[in-house]
Amino acid sequence: MSTLEEPEVEPDGLDIDAVHERLGDRVLDTEEHINAPGIIIRADEVEETLTILRDEFDFDYLACVSAEELPDRYETIYHLKQFADPTRELSIVVPTDRDRPISQSAAHVYETANWHEREAYDLIGIEYDGHPNLKRILLPDSWTGHPLTDDYNQDKPQVVSYKAHENPLLEHTKEDDGETMLINIGPHHPATHGVLHLKATLDGESVVDVEPDIGYLHRCEEQMCEQGTYRHQIMPYPDRWDYASAGIINEWAYARAAEDLADIEVPEYAQILRTMGAELCRMAAHFLALGTFVLDVYGEFNALSMYAIRDREKVQKLLEDLTGQRIMFNYLRLGGVAWDIPEPREQFFDDTRQFINEDLPESMDEVHDLLTDNEIFQLRCVDIGVLPPKQAKQYAATGPVARASGIDMDLRRDDPYGYYPELDWEVVTDDGCDIFSRVMVRVREVEESAKIVDQCIDLLEEWPEDEREIQANVPRTLKPDPDTRVYRAVEGAKGELGIYIRADGTDTPGRFKIRSPAYCNLSTLPVMAEGDFVADLIASLGSIDIILGEVDR
Amino acid sequence: MSSQQPPTELDRNVLTKTRDARATGVDDRFNSRLREAMGSTPFILTKFDKFMNWVRGSSMFILQFGIACCSLEMIHAMMIKHDVDRFGAGVPRASPRQADLIIVPGTIVSKFAPRMKRVYDQMPEPKFVVGMGSCTISGGPFQEGYNVVKGAEEVIPVDIHVPGCPPRPEALIYGIAKLQEQVANGETSPVVVKPYELEEFGNMPRDEIIEQLSDQINEDDLAMRYNWGDSP
């Protein structure tokens, strides 16, 4: 079944000739990326070109912006997609001069480009002309140098300034109206789910402006992956991006990109194992999202957060049986998985069925009883933290956040991979656009994941014993051809988790860029929170379900 | 409604027993086996310091402080199933001013280290630190990162290291129990390495990098200087 792993590379329905004709002289040259055709344009025609593509060719989704340094130039690649059909992809490549790396900003065409370009400026050093707020985003403001460039000296000392927190009332009150004040939420604050800093400006109790300040957990994941060899050394790191037990999904993102790059076919049996593992991970991640969200809106250690953690423990037990670890699974290998279902197989199947068919429906009843049917909870969440679909698309929100705004996109169905196309399940959407919808989408996705796991268990149980192939033949050292590029994504627990890799002919990637769903989803926070009360800001933040490891990478 | 029904035999018994106990001043609830073991006198003799150590070790208030992956296992250690509160160390406090114990659960990067130092400074004495996971020992899997502080000890003193990536909740509980044991025995002396301190920018030795930043940072602003070249 060759259709399983390799989705068609040629985007069907995209008339590339029409694009060329419309863009005319703006097309300097073309190139082929594994996932999409690439069009090279001039650095001062970015805004114009992207506006045409957005308005006339329906490329309403800027999935990722990856910047890199090449021996003779700097390059920014805008990975365009369509929300209606994410397999229609187009890469816009913008080369810039080595001496003066200045490129026109796309932030006025796609809101999401704002953060992506700040990151590119921070790590690579490309300057974006016309960018509304071009300053460092992941590293401290006082950092010197751009670390993902070749001439960066890592041993050079750095100084990080730390201004003492002054009385915000004195220092930040605007001269002309004494009404607003700035409060810092985080970086150490129980409601920020880790180390996030929100600069919130309040007028009385309403939020007039909020700016997420990230980078408190920027632990150089891209550098680590660029140092590792494809075959084994990269795989442990994805577990540490979205560490809310979504490890197998993250590993799959890397595996999918690298397998496309090296042309590896994954056996069907391994695909089922991957699918089952990924859905167990999704359940664990959504339980955590639910548990921490009720902590945010209800207060410390209430019953529901305990129940959510109890259910997580059960999933983690199953995942531990399967992979050997509770959180950092390192279960996938390029071309397959590390090992089969543990012996005795019947026991694993029984345990999983017990959880899926007996325990889970019961705890879902509890969730609906305590949470979603609860009048107080509804008062707190309905019509608050609204994210209209148009803005969700502009900010490239994906995953439950987008689906709760009525955007019907799920890569498991729309850009099929693994064993998902063969299974019977639904994509959950809700058009409430508010906090309540986002919570509901997650709760219902847990039920859908359970359906998938149940079907996988049946398949695994009936699979003939001599055809249990868990690993394809993969060369010991992988050296993809130089200058091949691929951007591949999977549906992570938080949304589209994409990996861009440029091979440089060696056994390590030349550039490894992670498109993090939580990063893009977090950038929608100002849309949700501005105008609401400060307490609703916390609820909105909780409903986005960020994991800082994935935001900062 | 039970209050409208006549009290049953059982209710009457309970009420009477409690009332009697209160009236005579001998409440059953305090007649524990420990009390029996102490004989007729309700007093014990001990050294004050020893008593205080025992009290401290038996009631640890943990700072609610999540950084990275390890904080999930920390949550699991505090919640249902593992429940570190069974050992008298399970009350998470959101404010550092109410906490005795800070668990450092994750990778510390350059932007966060000064903030963590400040949080640690805000805790009242005596305070204790448990470093959770490989990142707080050496930087762990991210040790080679350009932005990663090579262990929590570079910034704050650490009493107990719990290795693992991440450690299981059981391992964390064992680490906390070991710390409690140390505290109760009056044995704590944290490992102090701490090459990185918050200091005023103006007091830093002038060199190329300081000159370069002098127009960005005020003389009297606090800053932390990382000498990455000297790190292990």
Same domain, A124 and A227: no
Residue B171 binned pLDDT confidence (cut-offs 50, 70, 90): very high
Percent of chain A with pLDDT over 70: 94
Domain that holds residue A303: 221-552
Please name the residue of chain A whose CA is at the shortest distance from the CA of residue B113: A216
**The token pair that represents B232 in the structure block:** 């292990």
Contact A188 B217 (CB under 8 A): no
In this predicted structure, what is the pLDDT of residue A451?
A: 92
Domain boundary among A91, A108, A129: A129
My answer on whether A125 and A225 are in the same domain is: no
Searching chain B, which residue's CA lies closest to the CA of residue A247? Answer: B69
Q: By the 8 A CB rule, do B155 and B127 touch? A: no
| CB proximity B121 to A under 8 Å | no
CB contact under 8 A, A219 and B148: yes
Chain A residue closest to B204 (CA)? Answer: A159
Angle at B51 between CA B45 and CA B55, to 5 degrees: 140
Distance CA A177, CA A198 (A): 22
CB interface of B with A, residues 21-60, below 8 Å: none
How many beta carbons lie within 10 A of that of residue A177, not counting itself?
8
**Quick check: B226 and A161 CB within 8 A?**
no
**Cβ separation B141–A224 shorter than 8 A:** yes
Whether residues B111 and A310 touch (CB distance < 8 A) is answered with no
Mean of pLDDT values over A17-40? 85
The predicted pLDDT at position A5 comes to 45
B174 shares contact with chain A (CB less than 8 Å): no
Q: Is residue A150 part of a domain?
A: no
Q: Are residues A328 and A467 in the same domain?
A: yes
Give the per-residue pLDDT at A56.
Answer: 87
How many distinct structural domains can be found in chain A?
A: 2
Measured CA to CA, the distance from residue B81 to residue B169 in angstroms comes to 10
| Same domain (yes/no): A459, A342 | yes
Give the pairing of strands A332-333 and A102-104: unpaired
Would you say residue A180 has pLDDT above 80?
no
Q: What's the per-residue H, E or C state across chain B?
A: CHHHCCCCHHHHHHHHHHHHHHHHCCCHHHCCHHHHHCCCCCCCCCCHHHHHHHHHHHCCEEECCCCCHHHHHHHHHHCCCCCHHHHCCCEEECCHHHCCEEEECCCCECCCHHHHHHHHHHCCCCCEEEEECCHHHHCHHHCCCCCECCCHHHCCCECEEECCCCCCHHHHHHHHHHHHHHHHCCCCCCECCCCCCEEEHHHCCCCHHHHHHCCCCCCCCEEEEECHHHCC
Residues A119 and A226 placed together within one structural domain of the fold: no
pLDDT band at A12 (very low <50, low <70, confident <90, very high): low
Report pLDDT digits (tens) over A463-479.
Answer: 888 888 888 888 888 88
Check residue A515 and give its pLDDT. Answer: 92
> Any chain A CB within 8 A of the CB of B150?
no
Cβ separation of B109 and A218 shorter than 8 Å? yes
- Helices in A207-344 by DSSP H: which ranges? 221-227, 247-262, 268-298, 303-323
Is residue B46 very low, low, confident or very high in pLDDT (cuts 50, 70, 90)? confident
| Shared domain check, A124 and A261 | no
Higher pLDDT, A7 or A410: A410
Q: In sequence order, what E strands does A281-423 have?
A: 332-333, 336-337
Residue A289 lies in a domain: yes
A8 occurs within a structural domain: no
Looking at the domain assignment, is residue A144 inside a domain? no
Q: What is the CATH number of the domain that holds A448?
A: 1.10.645.10
Q: Rounding to the nearest 10 degrees, give the CA dihedral for residues A308, A254, A222, A224.
A: 90
Interchain contact, B118 vs A162, CB within 8 Å:
yes
Tens-digit pLDDT profile for residues A416-438: 888 899 889 989 998 888 999 99
> Which of B108, B147, B208 has the most A C-beta neighbours within 10 Å, making it the best mutation to test the interface with A?
B147
Residue A425 forms part of a structural domain: yes
Closest chain B CA to residue A284 = B72
Once rounded to an integer, what is the mean pLDDT over residues A49-72? 89
Structure confidence at residue A25 as a pLDDT band (50, 70, 90)? confident
Residue A86 tokens read as 């994410």
What's the full length of chain B, in residues? 232
Task: List the CATH number of the domain containing A37.
Answer: 3.30.460.80
Between A147, A154, A195, which is nearest B67 by CB?
A195
| Residue where a domain terminates, one of A85, A112, A129 | A129
pTM over 0.95: no
Residue A479: per-residue pLDDT: 87
Q: Is residue A189 part of a domain?
A: no
Q: In terms of domains, do A112 and A259 share one?
A: no
Question: Is the peptide bond preceding residue B126 cis, with omega within 30 degrees of 0?
Answer: yes
Is A177 among the domain residues? no
State whether B73 and A327 contact (CB < 8 Å). yes
Best B62, B63, B69 residue to mutate vs chain A (most A CBs within 10 Å): B69
A181-205 per-position pLDDT tens digit: 788 887 888 777 788 888 888 888 8
In angstroms, the separation between the Cα of residue A47 and the nearest Cα of chain B is 32
Domain check: are A225 and A120 in the same one? no
**Last residue of one domain, picked from the residues A106, A129, A152:** A129
Write down the pLDDT at residue A78: 92
Range from A374-383, B10-19, B197-206 carrying the lowest mean pLDDT: B10-19
The predicted model gives A384-392 an average pLDDT of 90
Instruction: Report helix angle B69-78 to A303-323, nearest 10.
Output: 120
The verdict on A115 and A250 lying in the same domain is no
Note the ipTM here.
Answer: 0.86
Measured CA distances, A344 to A340, A348, A460, B38 (Å): 11, 7, 13, 54
3-state secondary structure of A77: strand
pLDDT at B174: 93
Give B184→chain A minimum CA distance, Å.
Answer: 28
pLDDT of the residue at A355? 92
Q: What is the mean pLDDT of residues B18-44?
A: 65
Q: Which residues of B touch A187 (CB under 8 A)?
A: 112, 115
Element housing A128 (H / E)? strand A127-129
Same domain for A124 and A257, yes or no, is: no
Is A170 inside a domain boundary?
Answer: no
pLDDT (tens digit per residue) in A216-270? 999 999 999 999 999 889 999 999 888 888 889 999 999 999 999 888 989 999 9
Identify all chain A residues contacting B212, using CB atoms and an 8 Å cutoff: 144
